[in-house]
Structures are given as structure tokens and as C-alpha cells.
Amino acid sequence: MYKLIDGKVISAAVKERVKAEVATLKEQGITTGLAVIIVGEDPASKVYVNNKKKACEALGIISEEYALLETTTQEELLSLIDTLNKKESINGILCQLPLPKHLDETAVINAILPEKDVDAFHPINVGKIMQGDFDFVPCTPAGVMEMLAFEGIEIAGKTCVVIGRSNIVGKPMAMLLLHKNGTVTICHSRTKNLKEVCQNADILVAAVGRPNFVTADMVKEGAVVIDVGINRVDGKLIGDVNFGEVCEKASYITPVPGGVGPMTIAMLMQNTLTAAKKQNKVN
């Protein structure tokens, strides 16, 4: 019988922890502030930004939203980031991706000060994750690690397989599992014998962006299965894991929706708090 890893319950616990610490900082005269930049009219991005704003309000974090026109130039966007870098009341800066095609995402990410980069996309923060000496972790992999810890799932010595090698999820996910002494394999579109590789996994993380990609015949009996995928099919949210099949073999499994998704914003709040504490030299 599998156990469902409930992202709503775990994210609520993270938010309560963050809320208490934000309140403690406020008692010391320290505010916590997050600036979110959105360029253009992408509907999914607008939903994400609105959810982040609500989370900030609920936890006592000051939220500043900068909604820029689709026609915003690179120079205008970098100028705003420079202003926010210098603004003491803002501890974290997040620029909602994807950006319109005429803007250079790499230049934008690199322009955010590493100590305010709460998405952990800046090359300095990426390098720190590689070394295992980091302040921030990209929010989705951080959420997965929080879920495993919450459920008391041991990583050390386990065979861990990550399907997907994106900079946002796959690569940092693999590094975090490695830092916890997992034996990690990263799989991707060129991986040979993918099914056999996945069948060896004690912990399987699917972040490939293909609905129902992971089927029961790819999963070892008793494996922990983490579904990072969010795919919209016929108006429904579907994960990368065929839940109906795989749950019969898994010991633990995350649902979609209600699994990893809620954790992403919770960990953004955690990263923003961490930034505020670091910038104000609070342990």
C-alpha cells in the first residue's frame, strides 16, 4: 500500500515556519521583501505571479509587483533590476520566466545580485549548489527535498534516478540528492535502456514534461516516486507519472495536482526569508 506525499500539507507547514520567522524579524525592526517582475501578458505567468503575491501577504512578506509591457526593452528591464538591487527593503528579486523572445534571459538572470537571487539561477548560486555550500536552491528541487525530509525518507546509500536535465529542476535535483549521499543517475532523451535504469531506482524523480511518461513497468517495487511534471491535457493537469498504474508499485508517491506544485511557492518564501536573514546578518 502506497503513502501519498501531500504537498498541500507539507507546504502549509513550511509556510507556518516562514511566517513565524518573518514575524520574529519584524519584532527586531527587520522587514522581509520580495520583488516580482513580469514582462508581457503570458496567462500562466500571471497566475504564478498572483499566487506568489497571495503567499507573501499571508506570511507577512512585503510584495512588490512590476508588470512591464511586452514591448519593454532589455535596457529598461536591466535598469529596473539595478534599481531593485540597490533597494534595501527588497531582499529577493524574481523575474518571471519565460521572457518575450526579444529579451536575453541569461543577461537578466546574471544582472540580479546573487544574494537577492531567490530563484537560485545566477551562475554564482549554481556553482555554490555544485560545491554543496549554498544559500539558495531552485524552488522546485528544494521543495522535493523538503518533502523527502518531512516523510523521513532516507536518501543516503539509495539509488536515485532523475529523468530530465533542465537547469531549473533536473541538474540541481541531482546535485541535492548527491549531497545527501544518494547514488544518482540523470536520464534524458538520449539515455539508452531508460526503462532498465529507472527499474533500479529506490527514489525516482520525473521531470521530463511528458504526460504519463513513467509507467508501472519502469518502476521498482517499493520505490519512492516524485512527479515534478505539470502537463495540461484536455483541460486537466496531468503529471509525468501514470499515477493509476505506478501507485500500485510505489511505497510513496506524489500526486498531480497537489504534490510538488504547492511546494515551489513555499520554498520561494523560504528563500526570501533566508535572503532577508543573510542581508541583515541574522542567524
Catalytic residue ranges: 52, 96, 119
Q: Find how far residue 215's CA is from the centre of its chain.
A: 24
Helix (H, G, I), strand (E, B) or coil at 64: strand
Pairwise CA distance, residues 281 & 102, whole Å: 39
DSSP codes joined into one string, 167-213: TTTHHHHHHHHHHTT-EEEEE-TT-TTHHHHHHT-SEEEE-S--TT-
Burial letters 78-105, b for 16+ CB under 10 A, else e:
bebbeebeeeeebbbbbbbbebbeebee
Contacts by 197-201 with C-beta closer than 8 Å and gap 24+?
A: 197/161, 198/161, 198/163, 200/159, 200/161, 201/159, 201/160, 201/161
Pairwise CA distance, residues 156 & 62, whole Å: 38
Name the one residue in this structure whose C-alpha cell is 509556510. 15
End-to-end CA distance of the chain: 42
Pairwise CA distance, residues 62 & 35, whole Å: 8
Check if the beta carbon of residue 8 is closer than 8 Å to that of residue 259.
no
Read off φ and ψ for residue 204, nearest 5 degrees. -115, 120
CA distances from 263 to 29, 115, 147, 171, 240 (A): 28, 22, 8, 18, 17
Pairwise CA distance, residues 28 & 19, whole Å: 15
